[in-house]
Structure 1
Amino acid sequence: MFALSFFANALTVPHLAGTTEIKSVPKRIVVLEFGFMDALAKLGVKPVGIVADGDTATEVLPHLRKYYGPSIPSVGNRHAPSLEKILALKPDLIIADENEHKTLYPQLSRIAPTLLFRSYRGTYQDQLDQFDIISRIVGKEALGRSILADHKSLFSKAKATSSAKAGKIVIGVLTPNGFYVHSDKSYVGSLLEALGRDNPARMRDDQTQYLVSLEGLTALNPDTLIVLFNDEHQGAFDRFKAEALVRALPASRQNRVYTFNRDRWAKGRGVIGLEGILSDIFTSRVLTGKAAK
């Protein structure tokens, strides 16, 4: 976890591109990833600019829409934000993602002080650490501690359902292009590990999540399988589940194939997103080793 330091009423923030001095509580913040949007929303701080899956503010994640409507300008797609739109908002702080915005960092830091964190390819713990830092940057440290304490309570409730009977759990996103497994160093993969379950998928070629063949999935031999997809890919899931190699998995034979919404799980980084994921885990009994409802 990064350690913040104070000097002459300024806050020195270490991050993945070095350190940045923040001389006062920022009032005009632009956030370039969903996890950072989640943090500000939970802390009751309204940014001046956000990003989306598309190009407009209406294309943010469903669980964030009540916090970020069309009244907050979008600076474009989170994978390729517009520098011109960011500049026009005159921010006094930009919070960016290492995976998506590392090459843009020099330009961003010329617009305003910029922090570079690992959210898009970050772990569960990364999300909590970043929330803690952001709460202090925006002058909401006490509120941030209270929110993290509430999260810990919800996390403990979900972890209490975890049983060795669930065995090895593999989780991944299903698209028409195939199954993208999430390793133990990915966001949701590391969350499962923190909840006490073994995720046999490991990083590959420095990638926390990657495409696996059906043979590769067979090699992981999951006792419980979590498949994340959106409604428009229901047909892809039906075909996937009917595959002979998938039907032969221990998870399939024991009726422990669970499905959840891709956006809610794979993109729901941050405390608000985790509330939804942990609620799904508790109500579905996915960690108990019992058959899926």
Structure 2
Amino acid sequence: MKKQAYFITKLVLPLAFSPFLTTACHQSVSQKSHPSLKPSVECRVIQHEFGQTCVPLKPKRIVALSPDRNLDPLIALGIKPIGYTADNVGGKEIIGSVSLDDVKGATNVGKSDQPSLEKIFVLKPDLILATKYHPYKLLSAIAPTVSVPHDESVNEALFKQDLRYVAKVLGEEAKAEEVLSRYHRRIEDFKKRLGNQLEQMEVSVIYYSAGYVYMPMKNGDASADVLIDTGLRYRRAVPGKTSSIETIEDYNTDVLFIINLERKPLSFFLQHPLFSRLKVFQNNRFYLVDLERWDTRGILGANKVLDDLEKYLVSLP
């Protein structure tokens, strides 16, 4: 990866697009040293953790490098990218809670933690949406790049932060508030439909993998934040705690959702000596839920979690 990056920045980019790089670098320096100077292209200046970026007012060729953090909100705002990253799980292309139909016609530019700079370069984007884990300097040499931040000091769900931030980058703040309003209306409707069970029912959510269990985190995993928004009695996670399967009794609530990381068959859990003795298993109130739907940090994923809560909880006796 380092050799590829060196090749691109030291040879391909300067030779092929030296006028573009000169302009981009000039704009970047001008904005930092002389904020009063206007860039040659009309744009919106966006602050982020690596500095500031001059984003075109109406970007048409957007590459989104995180399925959850920026692709999900982009699709939720009704905007289709020209490039995206995906992960391969069991030979299947996974892009968080985004469906393949939503990115039909767009180019897969690699894995979310290792996007291909060559593929991004060829697409000639006018905006790249990244995170702090992506090579900002290399990407910003290709096109204006914005790193979507995660402000842990803000007491707001990450999926809401990301949606509002991406909307600000694109000048679509009003659309973001519409999307969030629809989500909150759904939450209120769910509460009404659940009625008295809302306060009576205790719910747990766990990830299971290789003999270990852990819980989704507040202001990070959308599944936890949706449960908190509903007002359900949700058993919270201890920050950073991963436990062996022997602690499974800690999650023996009225309802248990299992995010099945290893895609184990239902029979595995039914026959497991520790899972099978839980009251939630004996009462048949445990549910294996899809990784793509529940292991999410985006607004689209949050709505899919809410779909499943309605499906499994509203009809409970």
Category of TM-score, reference length = shorter chain: 0.7 to 0.9
CA–CA distance in 2 between the matches of 1:284 and 1:219? 21
Give 3-state SS (helix, strand or coil) of 1:67's partner: helix
The one of 292, 306, 313 aligned to 1:263: 292
| Counterpart code for 1:31 | A
Against the structure 1 CA distance between its residues 222 and 19, is the aligned structure 2 distance closer, same or farther, given a 3 Å change threshold?
farther
- Measure how far apart 1:49 and its partner are: 0.9
CA–CA distance in 1 between the matches of 2:303 and 2:218? 20
Mark the runs of 5 or more structure 1 residues left unpaired by the alignment. Answer: 1-6, 205-209
In structure 2, the residue matched to 1:40 is 74
The one of 245, 252, 257 aligned to 2:281: 252
The one of 166, 169, 175 aligned to 2:201: 166
Mark the runs of 5 or more structure 2 residues left unpaired by the alignment. Answer: 1-35
Q: How does 1:56-205 map to 2 (within 5 A)?
A: 59-60=94-95, 63-69=98-104, 71-98=105-132, 101-102=133-134, 104-117=135-148, 125-160=157-192, 161=194, 163-167=198-202, 169-175=203-209, 178-187=212-221, 188-197=223-232, 198-204=234-240
| Counterpart code for 1:83 | L
Cα distance per residue 1:228-256 (max 9 Å; x no partner):
237x8243x42234333323434334432
The count of aligned residue pairs is 270
The one of 27, 48, 53 aligned to 1:20: 53
Against the structure 1 CA distance between its residues 48 and 212, is the aligned structure 2 distance closer, same or farther, given a 3 Å change threshold?
same
Work out whether residues 192 and 199 of structure 1, in 8 Å CA contact, stay in contact via their aligned partners in 2.
no
In structure 2, the residue matched to 1:3 is none
Give 3-state SS (helix, strand or coil) of 1:247's partner: coil
Q: What TM-score do you get using the length of structure 2 for normalisation?
A: 0.71
| Counterpart code for 1:65 | L
Q: What TM-score do you get using the length of structure 1 for normalisation?
A: 0.76
- Measure how far apart 1:163 and its partner are: 1.4
- Measure how far apart 1:211 and its partner are: 4.4
| Counterpart code for 2:263 | H
| Counterpart code for 1:213 | S
| Counterpart code for 2:162 | Q
Identity of aligned residues (%): 26
| Counterpart code for 2:102 | Y
Work out whether residues 157 and 218 of structure 2, in 8 Å CA contact, stay in contact via their aligned partners in 1.
no
Give 3-state SS (helix, strand or coil) of 1:45's partner: coil
Work out whether residues 72 and 98 of structure 2, in 8 Å CA contact, stay in contact via their aligned partners in 1.
no
| 1:51 equivalent in alignment to 2:105 | no
CA–CA distance in 2 between the matches of 1:15 and 1:241? 48
